[in-house]
């Protein structure tokens, strides 16, 4: 790039960025900017970053549970949110895996995460995690605005700015736009149209998931998680705080799974009915129906994945992060963690005062696409294996649960041992 282009690109960073989406990635990213001593220098303003979200208002009741893994924990510690997240979540102590014929296939210990990668595997209600991140973002000065659905995005080449329009007819201008707007991102659509390339479709493995949050179940020891691995189906729980659980039913339903689909109440009830008499491996509980009884937030969705090969357009003025860049199936528990990694990586690059936007965007793509592609693929393959469709797949699956801890530690270091840090904070 020429010296003039570099100078222009640096100068255009002097309007605050526009951040679309107040999910895990948008809130983490905006908080890093707001707290960072380089933010005023790089963006030439003391005005806080602004985040716009389509939701009418914040709700702690959206979504069920998420895992926070060691790869995201150091950054959360640097942001000063980890202690609160840890107190609101539940550290996984033991995962017990059973076959549908009630045989224990294997177990994993939470100590492995703490000892090998320096942090626990923590499960938390998505709403509580978001509430904590939102509180810290606002305390750091981030201006989070709800009921702001972005309906169009244009890039003005002459003024080198990004212009967005909301469904209420209002508009905003920024030096760049960060699309942290989830799996069905309007930013991604705009990016592909600017690139002049058709947006590739997402991929399904035909798996649906029904999940909910149970009332407290005192019989399940705190931190204990149990899954029953069937044929083309899995049911089980993840432990949450106060003996609540984040329970799930995964089914192979290729004919039913449609992109962006939320199943209707009748389907939710039919699935619950199908599974209510299923065995559940905790003494004093017995039936899976006892787990689901009195539960909150039952949602059934089809699972989709895609590792997009592009994450920026318009000379770096449009950049994607989180699910907008790499929606993934939940079998690796990495949706939130990769979103946090993206936020840290992009913030580190942007807050280095000498760099130009095109250079930053290229470096971001080079650092994030190979890693997130590997994680998307790993999550998808894990899903296919866990669902245990064919006889051979099922045998391989059951055998993997006997993997000794030292093998797991060696084979999972690429995922949990890579722990991005926020530079200069």
Ligand X SMILES: Cc1cc2nc3c(=O)[nH]c(=O)nc-3n(C[C@H](O)[C@H](O)[C@H](O)COP(=O)(O)OP(=O)(O)OC[C@H]3O[C@@H](n4cnc5c(N)ncnc54)[C@H](O)[C@@H]3O)c2cc1C
Nearest distance from C-beta of residue 265 to ligand X, angstroms: 17
In the chain, the N- to C-terminal Cα span, in Å, equals: 30
State which residue, 17 or 116, has the beta carbon closest to ligand X. Answer: 17
For residue 19, give both structure tokens.
């951040």
Whole-angstrom Cα Rg for the chain: 22
Nearest distance from C-beta of residue 164 to ligand X, angstroms: 9
State which residue, 9 or 180, has the beta carbon closest to ligand X. Answer: 180
Positive/negative CA dihedral, 12, 425, 365, 305: negative
Q: How far apart are CA 237 and CA 396, in angstroms?
A: 23
Nearest distance from C-beta of residue 6 to ligand X, angstroms: 30
88 within 8 A of 129, measured Cβ to Cβ: yes
CA quadruple 124, 128, 131, 136: dihedral, nearest 10: -50
State which residue, 230 or 330, has the beta carbon closest to ligand X. Answer: 330
373 within 8 A of 332, measured Cβ to Cβ: no
State which residue, 104 or 296, has the beta carbon closest to ligand X. Answer: 296
Nearest distance from C-beta of residue 98 to ligand X, angstroms: 22
State which residue, 116 or 329, has the beta carbon closest to ligand X. Answer: 329
Nearest distance from C-beta of residue 339 to ligand X, angstroms: 4
Positive/negative CA dihedral, 384, 390, 394, 395: negative
CA distances from 386 to 237, 258, 278, 370 (A): 15, 21, 18, 24
Give the residues lining the site for ligand X (CB under 6 A): 20-26, 52-55, 62-66, 126, 148-150, 180-182, 186, 211, 322-323, 330, 335-336, 339
State which residue, 220 or 320, has the beta carbon closest to ligand X. Answer: 320
* CB-based burial label for 221 (10 Å; 0-12, 13-18, 19+): exposed
Q: Which residue has the tokens 């005192």?
A: 218
Nearest distance from C-beta of residue 105 to ligand X, angstroms: 23
Nearest distance from C-beta of residue 23 to ligand X, angstroms: 2
Nearest distance from C-beta of residue 22 to ligand X, angstroms: 5
State which residue, 55 or 60, has the beta carbon closest to ligand X. Answer: 55
DSSP per-residue codes, 270-317:
HHHHHHTTSEESSTTTEEHHHHHTT-EEEEEEEEEE---S--EETTTT
State which residue, 51 or 355, has the beta carbon closest to ligand X. Answer: 51
Backbone dihedral angles phi then psi of residue 94, each to the nearest 5 degrees: -155, 130
State which residue, 234 or 336, has the beta carbon closest to ligand X. Answer: 336
Nearest distance from C-beta of residue 224 to ligand X, angstroms: 20
Give the H or E element holding residue 105: strand 104-109
DSSP per-residue codes, 207-223:
EEEEEEEPPP-TTSPTT
């Amino acid at each position: 790039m020429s010296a003039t282009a570099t100078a222009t690109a640096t100068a255009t960073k002097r309007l605050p960025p526009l951040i679309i989406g107040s999910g895990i990635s948008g809130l983490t990213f905006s908080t890093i900017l707001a707290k960072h001593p380089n933010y005023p220098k790089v963006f030439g303003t003391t005005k806080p970053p602004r985040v716009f979200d389509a939701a009418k208002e914040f709700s702690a009741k959206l979504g069920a549970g998420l895992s926070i893994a060691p790869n995201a924990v150091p950054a959360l510690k640097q942001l000063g949110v980890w202690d609160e997240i840890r107190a609101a979540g539940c550290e996984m102590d033991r995962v017990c895996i059973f076959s549908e014929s009630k045989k224990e296939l294997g177990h994993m210990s939470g100590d492995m995460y703490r000892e090998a990668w320096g942090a626990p595997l923590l499960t938390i209600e998505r709403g509580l995690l978001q509430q904590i991140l939102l509180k810290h973002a606002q305390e750091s000065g981030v201006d989070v605005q709800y009921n702001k659905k972005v309906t169009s995005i244009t890039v003005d080449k002459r003024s080198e700015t990004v212009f967005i329009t909301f469904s209420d007819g209002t508009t905003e201008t920024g030096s760049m736009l960060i699309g942290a707007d989830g799996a069905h991102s309007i930013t991604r659509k705009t990016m592909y149209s600017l690139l002049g390339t058709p947006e590739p479709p997402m991929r399904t493995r035909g798996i649906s998931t029904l999940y909910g949050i149970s009332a407290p179940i005192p019989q399940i020891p705190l931190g204990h998680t149990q899954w029953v691995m069937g044929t083309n189906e899995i049911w089980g729980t993840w432990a949450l705080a106060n003996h609540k659980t984040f329970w799930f039913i995964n089914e192979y339903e290729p004919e039913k799974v449609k992109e962006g689909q939320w199943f209707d109440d009748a389907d939710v009830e039919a699935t619950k009915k199908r599974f209510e008499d299923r065995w559940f491996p905790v003494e004093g509980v017995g039936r899976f129906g006892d787990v689901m009884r009195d539960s909150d937030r039952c949602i059934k969705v089809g699972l989709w994945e895609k590792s997009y090969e592009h994450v920026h357009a318009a000379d770096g003025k449009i950049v994607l992060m989180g699910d907008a860049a790499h929606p993934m199936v939940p079998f690796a528990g990495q949706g939130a963690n990769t979103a946090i990694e993206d936020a840290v990586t992009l913030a580190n690059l942007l807050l280095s005062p000498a760099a130009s936007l095109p250079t930053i965007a290229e470096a971001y793509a080079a650092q994030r696409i190979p890693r997130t592609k590997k994680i998307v693929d790993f999550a998808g393959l894990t899903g296919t294996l866990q669902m245990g469709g064919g006889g051979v797949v099922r045998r391989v699956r059951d055998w993997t649960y006997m993997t000794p801890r030292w093998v797991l530690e060696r084979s999972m270091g690429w995922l949990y041992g890579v722990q991005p840090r926020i530079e200069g904070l």
